[in-house]
Structures are given as C-alpha cells and as structure tokens.
Structure 1
Amino acid sequence: MSEKKRYMIGIDLGTTNSALAYVDTLDPDKNIQVLKVPQLIAPGEIEALDSLPSFLYLPDDNSVNSGKFDFNGQDDNSYCVGSYARKVASEQSSRVISSAKSWLCSAGQDPTSDFLPAIDDAEKKLSPLEAMTRYLRHLKNAWNTQVATSPDEYIDQQEVVLTVPASFNALARELTVMAAEACGIFPNLLEEPQAAFYSWIKENESNWREKVSADSSVLVVDIGGGTTDFSLIGVDDKDGNMELQRLAVGNHLLLGGDNMDFTLAYAMQQKLGKRLNSRQFSSLVHQCRQAKERILGSESLDKIDVTILGTGSSLIGGSLKTELTKEEVDQFIIQAFLPECDLNDTAQRQERSGLRSFGLNFESDAAISRHLAEFIKNNEKMPKTVLFNGGVTKASQLRERVSSIINSWSGEEIDVLADSNPDLAVAKGAAWYAFVRQGNSIRIKAGSALSYYVGLESSMPAMPGFAPPVDAICVIPQGTEDGTTFNIPIDDLALLVGEDSQFRFFCTNSRSEDELGSIIEDADLELDELPSLHKNLSLEEDEAPRLIPITMKAIFTEIGTVQVWGEAKSGEQKWRLEFDLGEEGKQV
C-alpha cells in the first residue's frame, strides 16, 4: 500500500439513509463528490442513487433461489439493502430491518445478538451489528466497482472517516468500528454535527468567516431518523485568526423521525377504530413515514390515503382505509414535537412501568424544544447562529419552528446557515474532514464529548442485605484529545483474576470538572451506566484465583474509542478491561 492515499472518503452510516462522499486529491479544485450507489429498486432492476436507505430485506428462500435478488458485486444474495428494502417495508415488515443504528446504544439488549426485525413471527433475524456491517459492505462494494480502477484504489487502501452521533457512548462507537473492520475498513470517527459543519465550511469556502460572529457559538441542530443531536461550536478570534472548538454536546436522545412516524401511526390507528396486530401496525408506521415526508415536502398536498391489508384469507376484502391530512401532520408533528416553551423549561421525565413490551428505549418526553432549552440553559451560552442537519430538518416548517422558538428565548433573530442538502451534508463533511486532517485547512478542536469512568468496589466486610457501595474512577476526562494515553494516578488498585468477575463502566457529559483519577462516590446514582463486562481474566495455567496489584492505563484512541488496561506491577501480564465483544466477553 502506498503511503500517500489518493482518496479521502467520508461515510454517513445513518439510521434512515447512508451515503458516501469523497475528495480526489488529484483534483486541482478538491471538489467533494458523492458516490452514486447501485441498488435494487425492484427485483432484477438496479439504479444508482445518491444515498443508500438503511433498510435490509430478508426475502424467503424461494425468492432467493429465483435469482431475483442477485446483485453484481455482492457475495451473499440472500438479502438486499437500500431502496427496494425500504419500499417493501410497509408490506413485509417481518422481513425488513430498519433503525438498526438506534439499537447500538440501547441499554439492556446485546447489539451482537440476532433479534431484528423485532417481530415475533419473523422467519429470519440478524443483529444490529450485522445489519450495520451489511450496509457498509454494500457501500464498500459500490466503491470498489464504481470508482476504484485497481486494487490500490480499493476502499480499504484509502483514508476513511466514519460518522457517529455526537452523543454515542464508548460501546456504540466501538460497535461502529467493529462493523467497519468486519468489512476490512479501518476508519477514523467524526461526530455527525461536526461533519455537517465541515460540509458548510467547504460550501462557503471563500467567505464562511464573514458569516459567523467571532467570540460567539454556532448551534448545530441535527434531527435524524432515530436520534436528535445538539452541539455547540465556539468561534474565537485569536489575533486575527479564526479558531473553532466543539464546546458541548447534548444527551443521547433516541428521538427523531422514527418517533414522529410512530405518533402518526397511533393517530391513524385511532381513526381506524381498531387495534392492529404487530405486522399491520409496522406496515402502518412505514406508510405514515412516506406520507409525512410527502406532505412536509409539498405546499399543495393536503392529504394522502393510507391502506392496511386485512388478515386471514381475505387480505384485500378485509383491508382498512383512512387518510393522513396536512392538519394532522401539523398537530402531531409540528405542534407536538416542537411546542413553544420557556428557556427554563426542562424535559419531562416520567416514571415508567417496570414491565414493558420489548422495543427501543425512546425518550419519555417527545418535545424536542424542551430538550433544546435544557441543553442551552445547561451550557449558559445563547448561540447567535444555527445550522440544521438531518433528514427531518429538510422540511422548512420544522426549521422555521425551531428558529422561532430560539428567537423567543434570545429576544433577537438567530442567523440560519444554509446547507444545500441535509441528507448528504454529513458524508460530504466527513470527506472534507478526512482531507483537512492532513493539515490542509482549519479543524474544529474537539476531544472526548463525555467523561468515562471505571467502577471501583470498596474493600468492605460482607453485610447481609447491603451491597458494597460502587465508586468510580475517572479514566478519560471530558475534552480529552484523541490519541491521548493516561496513566491513572492511583496506587492501591488490584484486579481479581482467574475467576468470573464484573467490570462496570460509566459516562456523563455533565461533569467537565472531574479530573483524571477523580473518584466519584455512589457512581450508580451520579453517572450514566454503560453495559457491564462479565469476564474471566486469564492467569497462568494451574494458578489459583487471586488479586493482583496493577497500574491502570486509559487510551482515547485516534479513532475516538476508549481502551482501559490493567498492567501487573510485577511481571509482564496485562489485561484489556473494556468492551470486548468477542466470544470471551459478550455484553449481557
């Protein structure tokens, strides 16, 4: 492999749509190009589109054997991803996987186990990790067959940047990297709001400095299919030079277009006056998504018919019909998800039932405006400028609503930065970042958006009915630059090796004051807990289990993941203490 790579590639692996953009370093203008991705739009019919819908269809064996889903460049023809998978989602919901990305950050469910589609009678199922891997593999094959002219230009030989939500925790980032590595791709990670801002910088390359105020901040509002991300990017004038720094990111909000689609589906079910079964309701959700996008994207469309097939022998005769109107979209989407609120309002976190049906852990408060108020209030910095990103914000009504709410808080009109295509901005921005990180242009200073902690159990005598308190050691302070290695400054640490044990991990975005080695008491109450790791750390053969004194090292890697290591004070043994999703360390 040549040391100098020709192509700088950015991949947006989205909840609803994925895309790939690139910069050819041999292009004198360094323009960002978007890869047209070949995909099935109907059995046997292929078309190259700007994006790849993040939907995966698992046809029955007869359909597979018929050759309808044979695809040049795809080794496994037992499935298809993209446009056709999205098209049949409303009719064959038990065979279509969607929103796989949202499961990577879902507590209490192993994202490496096969449970999607999350419908009981689904004949075939895959893990969220495998679904994401297959989207990436499709993009890889598209690049290798459409752009690369020799093995030296294959995607695994290029500089690749893969985007993630700013609020993704260490586990979700690790899983994203694992999906890429399963395809032979070894990427760097970039937060999606930053990618969107890089895209805007490139589009306004000649005058972007004139469009943002020095000593102010830019709010990036990223509302996608599965998540909502808020980021603040600071703009500083340092002796006449403009500097950018990511100041803050919001909580991981499982709140976006998917929630809107479910809301409309429940409203339509009420109109039908009948409780639908899981397959019918899943079909209704997909139809509501399509209808919502059409109504929000048109000034003249007032209503769209919705039809749900019946069950049993008379599918057509027993079908149910209703319509989604423009007024209902305004009521259940604009007014419900973006209600007017005060800057001091907070998100309403309701106590939930302990017994719930299986599904994603969506936010209990769907009011995006209240989450935004909380984010701005917590960071005590009213932005002067806003950049919208994500497919949901393509609708002008939603952008205008958010701007109006922010204006009511600040008392002055916020500047809106225009982007030509929110669907492609993240991929394009990632490609530009891959180029500028070689030292070619201005970079946003970032570092870790969260602080990370490892659980520490106190040495105490057994007490009937009382578990030992769980403290936690800060191993990655918030703001840590990627590529940083820390030696944790604590002497009296020991690892239990040779028998099954549990390691607990925590994170937060609200304790920027915590320093390396700080010990947080009652961590399970103060911090957000990540999935724990259950593992038997190996010893030499025939040695009895015991506590081994260690020093601890933490690494915030160049690609944006977290590693924690324990190294024996005497001897050369060392153990990786964090997310190991191989056979020896499955998450539970």
Structure 2
Amino acid sequence: MKARFSLGIDLGTSNCAMALTDLETDRTEVLPIPQILAANQLGEKPTLASAIYLPHPEEFPQGSFRPPWSAGETSGIIGQFARDHGALVPDRLTTSAKSWLSNPHVDPKQRTLPWRSDSVEQKLSPFECSRCYLQHLKDAFLHTVNAQGRQWELADGQIVVTVPASFDEVARSLTAEAAEAAGLGYVTLLEEPQAAFYAWSARAGRQWRDAVAPGDIILVCDVGGGTADFSLIAVTDVGGNLELERISVGEHILLGGDNMDLALAYTLQARLEAEGKALDAWQFLALVHAASHAKITLFEDTTLAEAPIAIPSRGSSLFAKTIAIALDRTLLSQVILDGFFAQTAIDDLPREARRTGLQEFGLPYASDPVISKHLARFLTRSLQNVKASDKLHALVGSRAGGQALMPTAVLFNGGVFKAEPIRARVLDLLASWNGGQAVRELEGFEPDLAVAQGAALYGRHRATGKGMRIKAGTSRSYYIGLKASMPAVPGFRPPVKALCVVPQGMQEGTELLIEGRTFGLVTGEAAEFRFFSSAVRSGDIPGQILPDAERELEETSLLEVELPALPDVSSGQVVPVRIEAVVTELGTLELWMKHTNSDRKWKIEFQVRTE
C-alpha cells in the first residue's frame, strides 16, 4: 500500500519532538505534543520533556493526570509537569533514560530508575522509560491527526526514529525494540546528525547546493541537554552531481547543557556561602532550575547586564525566606564560554580523572567538562579513521594532513547552540585550529526541532525515492571474539582474537557472507559470545582477524546462550559454520551462523553486557 505520511520522532535525552510530512501535499510540519502541564490541565508544546515523575499514591487526587486518549490513570506523569514538579521531588523523577541504554555495564531492562531512589514503590527500567516516551508520542500523534479529520493508521505511514550517531548496535537495537513495544511497529532508525542536515537542506531549498561544494567537509556539532555528539560529512562530485557521505562519528559523550546549569548553580552557591547564606538540598535544586532560566535570558537578550534569581524556601513564611542573587554576564561568560568552550589547542585532549578505587556507580559522565577538548579528540580520531581506508582518504584529499581532520563548514544542532555567543566561540576555536582560516557556519537551523523534521523528510525520501540522501551505512566496524587455537601454557591466557563481520559503512538492506573461511560453533550447551566495535578502523574488511581484541577494540556486548544442537550431533560438539551479516532496511544488524553441511542456521544477537 502506498504510504500516506512520514512521521519523524526525535527521541531526545532531554526533550522529544515529532514532525509530520503529508505525502499527498508534500508539506512538513512540527506536531504540537499534548501533555500534562498541571493537575487537571492539559496543554500542547512543541517538545515533550524526556522526564517521568512517579507520584506517591496519595500525592494527587485520582484522575488528576489522565491524558485525553486514555480512559484510565497512567503509572507515571510524562512531560513538562513531570520535569518541573520533579525538580522539587527529585527522588521520584526519572531523566536521561536514553543515556542508560548505551551504558555497557547495566541491563537496561532492569528496574533501576529513578537512580538511587529509595522512596519509589515501583521503579522503571531505562527500556521501559523509552517505551513510555514513544507510546506517549504515538498516542499523541494519533490523537492529533484524528482531531484534524485525518483518519490515519500507523500502517499508512513511514515512521523514523532518530538515535545518536554514537550509539552502538546494542543501544540501536534497544531503541527499535522499545518502539515496537510502544506499538509503533518496525521503525527505521536514523542518526541524529544526518537528520539535522536533512532539515537544514530542506530549509535552504535549492540553495543548499550553493552553500556547499565538492571538497567540503561538514561538521555536524550537536550539543543538547545531556550529550555531545559529533559527525563529519564529506561532499563529493559524482558525474556532475553532489553526493554526501558520512565519514566519521564521535564517541557517546555525556556532557551538555545540564552540566552547564550545574556549574552555574555551584558558582552562585559559593557566592551565597561567602555572604553567610547557606542553601539546603531543596533550595540548591531550585537554584539549578533558576540558573538555567537566567542563562537563557542573558543569551537571548544581549542588552541585559544581569538576570535576577530568587531562591524560595519551603514553609509558611515563603517570601520572608526568599534569597536573592543575580547571574551577571561576566560570570556567565567565565563559566560557560571559558569553562566549557575554552580556547584550547588542537592537541589538548580530554584529561582522564584520577580513578578512585571505589566510587558511586551510575552513568559514565565525561570526566573532563571542556567540550573543546572532546571536539579536538573527535577531529583527531576522524583523521585516524579516514587514513585507515583508501576510499575515505580519497574523499577528503589534501585535508587529511596535519594533526586532525579539519572541517570547512559547521552545522550546529542542539539546544545549547541557541546561544549565538557559544556558536561564535566554536567557530573561533575551529579557525584557530585551522591556521586562522575561517570555518563557515551553515545558517538557518532550529536546534530543538531540526532532528524531528529531518527524520520526517528522510521517511519521505524512503517512501517516494525522491530527494537527497546521505550515504552512511553502519557507523562502526563490528567484530566477534574468536578463541585462539593454540596449546595450553601454564600461567598464560591467550588474547581473544576478533573477526571483522561488518565493515564500517555497510549499507542498509545489504548482506555479506564471509567467503573462504569456516568457523566452529558450539551448540547444545551454554557458550559465550563477545562482541566488539571500532569507530576508527574504517579499512578493516569482513573476514579480517585482529590478534588482540581487548587491546585494539571496544567491547560492545556479551551474550551467553545455548544454541539448539543438530539432531544427529551430540551436545557441546563444535559444528562447522560460515558467517553471514545482514544490515536490515530498518538499520539494525543481524548475524547468522550457517551450517556448512545443511540448511540449518542460528541467529546470534548483539545484547547488553550484564556481568
């Protein structure tokens, strides 16, 4: 059946958004999202806060937070009210669930959120939180279009959900699984930086081809509330036509606007303590919230010298105990620009904090808050990646010299870059690394809504076959661990070898069989499979074996599973197989072990490490 619409969903760490392309009118619009704004008050906002508040059973009257599409009470409150009210009761507030999906040391399906909370009766898993956000967005979409008189079903459209380019295969698969559990069916996954570029090119119209040229390397610099994500896209000329290819992606960095708000709050708290004014834990949370608003006010209105902040306290004499302070522009620049976007050198890379033997377990936040250093590391690693592949090296040409792969243009994305002074600082930083030569900004971006719009436009491209496409494929090379075949030696543990099964850039809708190699697969008893990946080994080819996986690669996941034995083979016996990798049209990865002597095959899935 011909698709009638394309729905783009930005499942953000801090905020979600939706955009719709009507394929009959070819019009793209951002969909307002109905959500709870207060008790018994429903409203619409362009974004949905990625926050779930789990109220105490006796905190609110029954039925106070019922969405219009639900006949019953929901287990948690999602959206703006959840974030605002949850700031006052933080041990019942869940945020940053998306970041937990990519944490290799936890099981995202275990009920662990709100993290470190002892007061919640029934916690949620990171996976369940993602499912809740997606289900809310799905219900909101159907509610909105039906109210507009469009009797659409989900099966009538193309649905695209965005993920960070830095997400590994485990986190991508979990996102797709959460979408299916939310009732969205099988969705297509799209990297957020690519979505931002699709949105920019659509806003630029036909002029986008005048803004970039063959030889350009475009940095998509995305800093949101909780994460920093970088990608590079090369522009080439093929037969007189411009083509785009994503050539590098960064690491998953938990560093963003939330860190900046905390830094401002700690600095202001120090000023108050110097004046003899102490804040309790509740007041500090209020200060974080107020500092965030003050930051936005000063960045939006450059004529203001300062923004006032009032910190209330709980109790009957509320106004008498209010503490007043102001965030001035000098302090804002010192904390945000000089603290997070310092003018560092290209070889000044993130420092690793001295590791304490025992520490609180939680999200793997970036230990170095200077985003400039993380950007330098990304550009340095990008040069390493393109040099590993003759094909990519040819795409960037002479720009592959020096210490890092320098972009010629930058597209900003994410709420942090609403502030013009921050964009200007990044451009100055890139110019200083580029021998004084300016790196131009691709203007005309919407940092909160671009990713959802770009996802809807990508769905349109898929449904109609029309429009510009970025050649991307898998963002990493993927490997499976191999046990070395060698005699046992006392006191020596042989290194784990790694077999490349998916090369970086393998396109969606393709499959490959590792030719000329046969491997032994254990069936009929529990066996362990280790998976690895790399974002800087673009030259590795399927079937290539690396001698030491733990030294050269990043471990992605571990799977312990018992594969069914063949009818005529005893349990535990090794059977000969060949390996076939498939990247589906939806952007997920499948790995198949095919028996060489029959048509039997086993599917081996990337799963989360839970050890």
- TM-score, length basis structure 1: 0.91
Code of the residue aligned with 2:578 in structure 1: it is T
1:155 corresponds to 2:147: no
Contact 2:349–2:373 (8 Å) recurs in 1: yes
CA distance in 1, matches of 2:449, 2:556: 31
Pair 458,218 (structure 1): closer, same or farther in 2 beyond 3 Å: same
**Alignment counterpart, residue 138 of structure 2, candidates 140, 154, 167:** 140
Q: Separation in 1 of the partners of 2:421 and 2:600? A: 59
CA distance in 2 between counterparts of 1:120 and 1:65 reads: 23
Note if contact 2:413-2:445 (Cα within 8 Å) is conserved in structure 1: no
Correspondence for 2:231: 231
CA–CA distance in structure 2, aligned partners of residues 531 and 272 of structure 1: 46
- Please name the residue that 2:365 is paired with: 362
The one-letter code matched in structure 2 to 1:167 is S
Match of 1:103 in 2: 100
Shift of 1:323: 5.1
Change (3 A) 1:318 1:121: farther
Match of 2:38 in 1: 42
Deviations 1:537-567 (A, max 9, x none): 2336995322222111111222222211222
Change in 2 beyond 3 A, CA 1:489/1:540: closer
Residue matched to 1:90: 87
Q: Offset at 1:519?
A: 0.6
Contact 1:474 1:517 in 2 (8 A): yes
- Structure 2 partner of 1:180: 179
Paired position in structure 2 for 1:441: 467
1:215 aligns with 2:210: no
1:247 positional shift: 1.8
Question: Would the aligned equivalents of 1:94 and 1:279 in 2 still touch at CA under 8 Å?
Answer: no
Q: Which residue of 2 aligns with 1:566?
A: 593
In structure 2, what is the equivalent of residue 164 of structure 1? 163
1:555 and 2:582 matched? yes
Cα deviation 1:328-382 (Å, max 9, x = unaligned): 3322221111110222332223442232112210122222112222323442342
**Alpha-carbon distance change, 587 to 570 in structure 1, aligned in 2, over 3 angstroms:** farther
Q: Name the CA distance, whole Å, in 2 between partners of 1:322 and 1:497.
A: 67
**8 Å CA contact retained: 1:533, 1:579:** yes
- 2:393 aligned partner: none
Q: Within 2, Cα distance between the matches of 1:322 and 1:392?
A: 24
Aligned counterparts, 1:198-277, within 5 A: 198-271=198-271, 273=273
Q: Which residue of 1 aligns with 2:196?
A: 196
- Partner residue of 2:66? 70
What is the aligned-residue identity percentage? 41
**Correspondence for 1:429:** 454
Which residue identity is paired with 1:10? G
CA shift for structure 1 position 70: 1.5
Computed over aligned residues only, the root mean square deviation of the Cα atoms, in angstroms, reads: 2.7
Residue 168 (structure 1) shift? 0.7
Q: 2:412, 2:445 within 8 Å by CA — same for their partners in 1?
A: no
1:88 and 1:324 mapped to 2: Cα distance?
Answer: 23
Structure 1 residue matching 2:448: 3-state secondary structure: helix
Q: How much has 1:324 moved relative to structure 2?
A: 4.2
Is 1:306–1:324's contact at 8 Å kept on the other side of the alignment? no
Shift of 1:307: 2.9
Aligned to 2:414: 390
**How many aligned residue pairs are there?**
579
Q: Which string of whole-angstrom CA distances, capped at 9 and with x for unpartnered residues, describes residues 208-264 of structure 1?
A: 111112221211111112221111111122333221111221222222123223333
Read off the aligned partner of 1:117 and give its amino acid letter: P
Q: Deviations over 1:510-555 (max 9, x none)?
A: 1111111111111111111112112222336995322222111111
Query: Are the equivalent residues in 1 in contact too, given 2:521–2:577 (CA < 8 A)?
Result: yes
CA pair 113-328 structure 1, distance change in 2 beyond 3 A: farther
**What SS is found at the alignment partner of 2:458?**
helix
| Paired position in structure 2 for 1:353 | 356
Equivalent residues in 2 for 1:249-328, closer than 5 Å = 249-271=249-271, 273=273, 285-299=288-302, 300=304, 302-305=306-309, 307=311, 309=313, 324-328=327-331
Greater shift after overlay, 140-149 or 18-27? 140-149
CA positional deviation for 1:131: 0.7
Partner of 2:423: 399
Give the equivalent residue in structure 1 for 2:555. Answer: 529
Deviations 1:293-351 (A, max 9, x none): 3433333261342537579x999999877654433332222111111022233222344
Q: 3-state SS of the aligned residue for 1:39?
A: strand
Q: 2:159 touches 2:187 (CA, 8 Å); kept in 1?
A: yes
Contact 2:344 2:429 survives alignment (8 Å) = yes
Structure 2 residue aligned with 1:127? 125
Whether the aligned pair in 2 keeps the contact of 1:89 and 1:283 (CA below 8 Å) is: no
- C-alpha change, 1:182 and 1:281, in structure 2 (3 Å) is farther
Aligned 8 A contact 1:93 1:283 in 2: no
CA apart distance, 1:468: 3.0
Residues 364, 489 of structure 1: CA spacing in aligned structure 2 closer, same or farther, 3 A cutoff? farther
Q: Which amino acid aligns with 2:81?
A: Y
Of residues 76, 79, 93, the one that matches 2:76 is 79
Measured after TM superposition, the shift of residue 157 of structure 1 is 3.4
After TM superposition, the score normalised by the length of structure 2 is 0.88
Rounded to whole Å, the distance in 1 between the matches of 2:610 and 2:461 is 37
Partner Cα distance (2:483, 2:281) in 1: 44
1:546 aligned to 2:573? yes
Q: Which amino acid aligns with 2:461?
A: V
Query: Kindly tell me: are residues 90 and 272 of structure 1, through their superposed partners in 2, closer, same or farther at Cα, counting changes over 3 Å?
Result: farther
What is the CA–CA distance in structure 2 between the aligned matches of 1:82 and 1:301, rounded to whole Å?
32
Whether the 8 Å contact between 1:156 and 1:184 is mirrored in structure 2 is no
**Deviation by residue 1:459-505 (Cα, 9 ceiling, x = unmatched):** 34444443331111011111111112111235341122233222111
Look up the match of 2:389. none
Distance 2:327 2:118 in 1: 29
Return closer, same or farther for 1:207/1:494 CA change in 2, 3 Å cut-off.
same
Aligned mates of 1:288, 1:180 — CA distance in 2 = 35
Could you say which residue in structure 2 is the equivalent of 1:507? 533
For residues 15 and 43 of structure 1, the distance between their equivalents in structure 2, rounded to whole angstroms, comes to: 25
Structure 2: distance between partners of 1:538 and 1:319:
67
Distance 1:277-1:168 versus aligned 2 partners, 3 A rule: farther
Query: Could you tell me how far 1:37 is from its partner in structure 2?
Result: 0.8
For residue 417 of structure 2, give the secondary structure of its aligned residue in structure 1.
helix
* CA distance in 2: counterparts of 1:484 and 1:288, whole angstroms: 49
Paired residue for 1:116?
A: 113
Cα 1:504/1:462, change in 2 over 3 Å: same
**Whole-Å separation in 2 of the counterparts to 1:317 and 1:97:** 32
CA distance in 1 between partners of 2:280 and 2:570 (Å): 57
